[in-house]
Amino acid sequence: MSILDPTADSPQQVRQRLTETWSDPYGTPGFFSTVDHKRVGHRYLVTSFVFFLLGGVEALLMRTQLATPDAAVLNPDLYNRMLTMHGTTMFFLFLGTIIAAWGNYIIPLAIGARDMAYPRMNALSYWVFLFAGIFLYASFFVGAIPDGGWFAYVPLTTDYSAGLAMDFWALGVVFVGISSTVGAINFIVTVFKMRAPGMTMSRLPLVVWSTLTTSFMILLSFPAITLAPLLMAFDRIVGTHFFDAALGGDPLLWQHLFWFWGHPIVYVVFLPPIGWLYMIIPTFTGRPIAGYNWAVAATVATGFISFGVWVHHMFATGLPDVTASFFSVASLGVSFPTAVAFFVFTATLWTARRIRWTAAMLWAVGALVSFVIGGISGVMVAIMPFDWQAHDTYFVVAHLHYVLVAGNVLPMFAAFHYWLPKVTGWMLDERLGKTSFWVTTIGLHVLFFPQHWLGLVGMPRRVYTYPAGLGWDVANLASTVGGYMFAAGVLIAMGNFFVSWRRRAPAGSNPWGAGTLEWATTSPVAPYNFAQIPEVHDRYPLWTLDGDVVDDPVGIAPQPGGVVLADEHHETLETVGLDARLGGVLAMPGPSYWPFWTAAATFLCFFGFLIQNPITLTLGLVAVAATLIGWHHGHLTGGEH
Amino acid sequence: MSAGAIRAHVDVPTGTGRTTAWWGMVMTILTEGTLFAMLLFVYFYLFSRAPEWPLGDIEPPELLVVSVRTALLFASSLTMSVTDRAIRRGRTGLATTFLAGTIMLGAVFLVGHVEEMLRMPEEFTWATNVYGSLFYVVVNFHGAHLLIGLVMLAFALVALRRGRYTPERHEGLKIVGMYWHFVDVVWVFVFPTLYLLPHVTAP
């Protein structure tokens, strides 16, 4: 099918024009006004990683304090604050945003689109995330670091936390939730409307399926993490009584709302990384994923069941047995689709023609193997009598960290090693990549495995120290040593990045011989992604039926008869229906400052609420309204929408 | 840059399927609807644990004025539907009249809301007990969404008067209408919960 005829011009001329149309303005104006999904993706990557390092430093401080009995590295108050910020940073500013980072960068490329469905909303979601992160970390500079735990249980966080500390937490969490919601809507519409012609839902790359599923989960679970901290902020600042048992409120309400978000979020941060592995493992085994339909079914089923498990965080709160039993069964049930996903991986590896053990592949398989431990301890704590014993002990800490580190952090490094050549245009060093893998992964197990044992012998979580002679000393020391080893592995991986940056070994468009569309364009990706929007007939369009790489991948050179788009506006194709029929040409908005200003105005609102200054709050609201009107002014004047 | 150097040489289908704007509004309504569902869950959860409802010595809310306001709000959904039909038939004048009518009805509802917010604190405030907290927070959540809806409708009215909508192209008006219907549907749940339920359960 051809929409536009490039025969009038040479491919070089076409690319030249497309580059002029899609490039951002040079320098500072471009920096603040860009709406390019790739630049937004870069920013998400860098910013999330910075928060990962901050959260890691907080964790190391805690681990250092716990290395020996009766240590005095952190005082109890500071320990609480580090505990709170470690959990808050990792959950809200890293785990959830690193998936947005790769989602932003990879998804439009993997579905053969030129941008996200709402480019300006995309920029907004990044700026809001950045401002929310700054808001939360501003608490360090005014000496009001949140201290009520990242789970923020009331009344610890209402009656017993004075000053602004938990106000920073509550409002910061609401703030960052806006970013996730905006991003989720964008991903859903992008997947439904922007797929290349012929990319039916059954040809969708699995990373897109997992991001689509998690986006729906975000839309249905994030309202709880908007509502709960907002009600907490009202209780703390305005004087309502939602969580105040003396005047009709209920502290348990907090746990219901928090965990209604808090449990699905575990799958939200775990499913997209599983999606990355679904992309990486077929590439290095040289065969399509085994059981594609099973993988899709497992992804969607995990999404559904994850909403029926939140009460398993509350087995020890004295709920009726019937209620608890239901949630116990649901929590056991969620392990079935996860097991299916693992069988899919196993089958793919089993039937491989030849496994190439690159650094990316090592990280991916290491993640799978490590995750199994977290999965098994999850089945254990889903069983109520066991949970009553293990609840609030280090066993739960071990389980939680196995699931999250093996389910998100290790896949993140796998994704770095796999996709960075596409992002940067140069290869990472394989030897350093493998070294960092072994150091990090062995560190992970030395760090968290002893914590199972610590929990079983009764060490409670969230304590800042412990006396000698309880039999906890050796395991704690080992755990701390593992923590430093893990950190060393992360530093080696970062060193790899900088060394490879200096070396700049060219990557070429498809260094791994992968089969999906993001490898069909240049590395680094041109501003317009694809000169020619590819037409898709297969799950692995760059592979022949025998699994060999197609010599001349689609999309790089515009060819007569190919689907090429005009060069006047940001134009891309719109497709219709689940089978992605050609729907029309969409004119996308170009660079805009409004997303930045809207996010800044939102910051002003939250700041006004924080300092309880009605004038600032009102100014902020007026500013938000003004920026949104400016944003949509084009609707009225007939400009681009 | 030479405009049109590379142009379509076959017809590109247009107007098939749902637009990105439509999908975006549906998803926004999905997540906002979940937010209201959770807010009402909070209401019923706390209600189910309370010894009496309303808590304390609070009287159940007055019904007369709010019933009239409710009728006006539901009428505004009807006028919005008429607006939508009119623009599809190309009757811009009729659409303008009914859209203005929708805004009027919504604005009267909102004025009533503000009047209630100024009057009610004489009886109880959000700080009286959790019944008061729920009443003010739920009602104002809805009020805030209504205000946003009104601003969107006002935008659509200006665009309509500038001739931006045609029978073939009126996506903006349609999705603003969807949001407005959503705000009305939320009231279908909020009104019985906040205003009727306390009358049923009052001792």
Minimum CA–CA partner of A568 in chain B: B3
- Of the candidates A333, A366, A474, A358, the one whose C-alpha atom is nearest the C-alpha of residue A419 is A358
Pick from A1, A9, A250: CB nearest B49:
A250
Beta-bridge partners for A576: A581
B31 vs A635: CB contact, 8 Å cut-off?
no
| C-alpha separations of A412 from A214, A220, A627 in Å | 17, 25, 35
- Using DSSP's 3-state secondary structure scheme, residue A139 falls into helix
Residue B179's pLDDT band, with cuts at 50, 70 and 90, is very high
Chain B residues in contact with A562 (beta carbon < 8 A): none
Q: How far apart are CA A447 and CA A453, in angstroms?
A: 12
A117 vs B28: CB contact, 8 Å cut-off?
no
Q: Does residue A16 or residue B152 have the better pLDDT?
A: B152
Position A7 pLDDT exceeds 80:
no
Chain A residues in contact with B174 (beta carbon < 8 A): none
Q: How far apart are CA B87 and CA B84, in angstroms?
A: 5
Residue B6's pLDDT band, with cuts at 50, 70 and 90, is very low
Interface of A with B in 603-622 (CB under 8 A): none
Chain B residues in contact with A236 (beta carbon < 8 A): none
- Using DSSP's 3-state secondary structure scheme, residue B137 falls into helix
Residue A610 near residue A171, CB atoms below 8 Å: yes
One-letter identity of residue A64: T
- Of the candidates A30, A199, A177, A203, the one whose C-alpha atom is nearest the C-alpha of residue A100 is A177
Minimum CA–CA partner of B40 in chain A: A227
Burial category of A65 from C-beta neighbours within 10 Å (exposed 0-12, middle 13-18, buried 19 and up): buried
- Residue B15 has what DSSP assignment? S
To the nearest whole angstrom, how far is the Cα of B54 from the nearest Cα of chain A?
Answer: 10
Confidence at residue A170, expressed as pLDDT on a 0 to 100 scale? 95
Position B144 pLDDT exceeds 80:
yes
Chain B residues in contact with A533 (beta carbon < 8 A): none
Residue A359 near residue A434, CB atoms below 8 Å: yes
pLDDT tens digit sequence for A430-443: 999 999 999 999 99
Helix, strand, coil percentages, rounded to 5, for chain A: 65, 5, 30
Confidence at residue A61, expressed as pLDDT on a 0 to 100 scale? 97
Confidence at residue A544, expressed as pLDDT on a 0 to 100 scale? 74
pLDDT tens digit sequence for B38-94: 999 999 999 999 999 999 889 999 999 999 999 999 999 999 999 999 999 999 999
Q: How far apart are CA B189 and CA B43, in angstroms?
A: 12
Interface test with A, best of B34, B133, B135 (most A CBs within 10 A): B133
Confidence at residue B14, expressed as pLDDT on a 0 to 100 scale? 57
Q: How far apart are CA A154 and CA A430, in angstroms?
A: 48
Phi, psi of A588 (to 5 degrees): -95, 150
Rounded to two decimals, the ipTM of the complex is 0.92
Q: Is A3 on the interface with B (CB under 8 A)?
A: yes
Q: Does residue A313 or residue B78 have the better pLDDT?
A: B78
Confidence at residue A396, expressed as pLDDT on a 0 to 100 scale? 95
Q: How far apart are CA A222 and CA A333, in angstroms?
A: 23
To the nearest whole angstrom, how far is the Cα of B188 from the nearest Cα of chain A?
Answer: 20
Tokens (6 digits) for B99: 């859209």
Beta strands in A487-610 (DSSP E): 532-533, 563-564, 570-576, 581-588
Tokens (6 digits) for A521: 């364009």
A14 vs B6: CB contact, 8 Å cut-off?
yes
Chain A residues in contact with B32 (beta carbon < 8 A): 223
Minimum CA–CA partner of B23 in chain A: A189
Confidence at residue A563, expressed as pLDDT on a 0 to 100 scale? 53
A376 Cβ neighbours under 8 A, 6+ residues apart: none
Position A1 pLDDT exceeds 80:
no
To the nearest whole angstrom, how far is the Cα of A249 from the nearest Cα of chain B?
Answer: 6
Position B161 pLDDT exceeds 50:
yes
Pick from B1, B23, B136: CB nearest A567:
B1
pLDDT tens digit sequence for A231-252: 999 999 999 999 999 999 999 9
Beta-bridge partners for A393: A460
pLDDT tens digit sequence for A248-293: 999 999 999 999 998 888 899 999 999 999 999 999 999 999 999 9
Phi, psi of B74 (to 5 degrees): -65, -35
pLDDT tens digit sequence for A388-413: 999 999 999 999 999 999 999 999 99
A216 Cβ neighbours under 8 A, 6+ residues apart: A184, A188, A303
A4 vs B13: CB contact, 8 Å cut-off?
no
Confidence at residue A562, expressed as pLDDT on a 0 to 100 scale? 52
Residue A479 near residue A486, CB atoms below 8 Å: no
Q: How far apart are CA A229 and CA A305, in angstroms?
A: 25
Give a three-class secondary structure readout of A9-78. Answer: CCHHHHHHHHHHHHCCCCCHHHHHHCCCHHHHHHHHHHHHHHHHHHHHHHHHHHHHHHCCCCCCCCCHHH
| pTM of full prediction above 0.90 | yes
Tokens (6 digits) for A451: 């914590």
pLDDT tens digit sequence for A45-57: 999 999 999 999 9
Residue A105 near residue A518, CB atoms below 8 Å: no
Interface test with B, best of A178, A185, A323, A609 (most B CBs within 10 A): A185
Biggest alpha carbon–alpha carbon distance for chain B? 78
Confidence at residue A556, expressed as pLDDT on a 0 to 100 scale? 46
Tokens (6 digits) for A493: 């991986």
- Residue A554 has what DSSP assignment? T
| C-alpha separations of B159 from A187, A383, A393, B153, B154 in Å | 28, 59, 60, 10, 9
Chain A residues in contact with B45 (beta carbon < 8 A): 250, 253, 256
Helix, strand, coil percentages, rounded to 5, for chain B: 75, 0, 25
Position A555 pLDDT exceeds 50:
no
Confidence at residue A549, expressed as pLDDT on a 0 to 100 scale? 73
To the nearest whole angstrom, how far is the Cα of B63 from the nearest Cα of chain A?
Answer: 24
Minimum CA–CA partner of A260 in chain B: B38
Confidence at residue A5, expressed as pLDDT on a 0 to 100 scale? 53
Q: What is the mean pLDDT of residues A467-477?
A: 95
Tokens (6 digits) for A453: 């044992």
Position B1 pLDDT exceeds 50:
no
B137 vs A582: CB contact, 8 Å cut-off?
no
Q: What is the mean pLDDT of residues A613-641?
A: 81
Q: Mean pLDDT score of chain A, rounded to an integer?
A: 90
Q: How many CA atoms lie within 13 A of A471 on its CB side?
A: 7
To the nearest whole angstrom, how far is the Cα of A434 from the nearest Cα of chain B?
Answer: 42
Residue A487, number of CB atoms within 10 A of its CB: 20
Confidence at residue B100, expressed as pLDDT on a 0 to 100 scale? 97
In this structure, of A62-76, A152-166, A336-350, B33-47, the range with the lowest mean pLDDT score is A152-166
A635 vs B164: CB contact, 8 Å cut-off?
yes
Minimum CA–CA partner of B47 in chain A: A248
To the nearest whole angstrom, how far is the Cα of A43 from the nearest Cα of chain B?
Answer: 24
Q: Is A241 on the interface with B (CB under 8 A)?
A: yes
Interface test with A, best of B44, B55, B130, B175 (most A CBs within 10 A): B130
B159 vs A577: CB contact, 8 Å cut-off?
no
